[in-house]
Chain A
Amino acid sequence: AQKVTQAQTEISVVEKEDVTLDCVYETRDTTYYLFWYKQPPSGELVFLIRRNSFDEQNEISGRYSWNFQKSTSSFNFTITASQVVDSAVYFCALSVYNQGGKLIFGQGTELSVKP
């Protein structure tokens, strides 16, 4: 069975602080995809990044960076110099190859960035 765990339910930081959101996944499959989505108060999920299981290269996009480590089954997300607009719920998700593209979500981490 597959599972995604986001142990941090809520995180509160002050603007300009760096913050890391943790994600640990479980799967026995060798081909899979990992995702991060952002859910602002409006409710719609916004796609942030996809990583496939054969690509452990870390990625940086502006203030966002992602650290994928297969050895620890983790896919952590760091926001550098956080801003109030980063306040949202962030979801990590897993999709296994050849299983219909279904997403298995973690419980989400609510990030609050205070001015």
Chain B
Amino acid sequence: DGGITQSPKYLFRKEGQNVTLSCEQNLNHDAMYWYRQDPGQGLRLIYYSQIVNDFQKGDIAEGYSVSREKKESFPLTVTSAQKNPTAFYLCASRPATNYEQYFGPGTRLTVT
């Protein structure tokens, strides 16, 4: 089955720890995106990557880092510098020829 997988669905961490969220796609899409969703709000862009080994900051990149070593994988690291990391994180991808993004199931991160 083609799609986007994010793991785990729920993640709990202690304050001060870095944590990496996984995003994998087997759709052969070129571009991948990370969004953050807070309760009652829309999604905000953290980072995106249009090709392997290249990525750009979105609107709220501070405290986050990414890598794009393989076309199918775009992991997001939430560092201890992120002041308010508790949120729902959604990964998305799209082919180069189409502006429609397809989303994974999301990871709900709780930091205490």
Residue numbers of A with Cβ under 8 A of B are: 4, 9, 33, 35, 37, 42-47, 50, 91, 95, 100-103, 105-108
Contact assessment for A43 and B105 in the assembled complex, using a CB-CB cutoff below 8 Å? yes
Query: Given A33-B99, A100-B50, A101-B101, are A45 and B90 also a contact pair (CB < 8 Å)?
Result: yes
B100:A102 contact, CB within 8 angstroms: no
Check A102 against B58 for contact (C-beta < 8 Å). yes
Q: Which of B103, B104, B105 has the most C-beta atoms of chain A within 10 angstroms of its own C-beta?
A: B103
Number of cross-chain contacts by CB at 8 Å: 62
Judging by beta carbons under 8 Å apart, are B43 and A91 in contact?
A: yes
Main secondary structure of the interface of B (DSSP, over half): strand
CA distance A107 to B41 in the complex (A): 5
Name the distance in Å between B32's Cβ and chain A's nearest Cβ: 10
CB of A30, distance to nearest CB on chain B (Å): 15
- Measured in the bound complex, the distance between the Cα atoms of B94 and A33 in whole Å is 14
Q: Is A102 touching B105 in the complex (CB atoms < 8 A)? A: no
Q: How far is the CB of B47 from chain A (nearest CB, A)?
A: 10
B35, B42, B56, B92: the one within 8 Å of A106 (CB)? B42
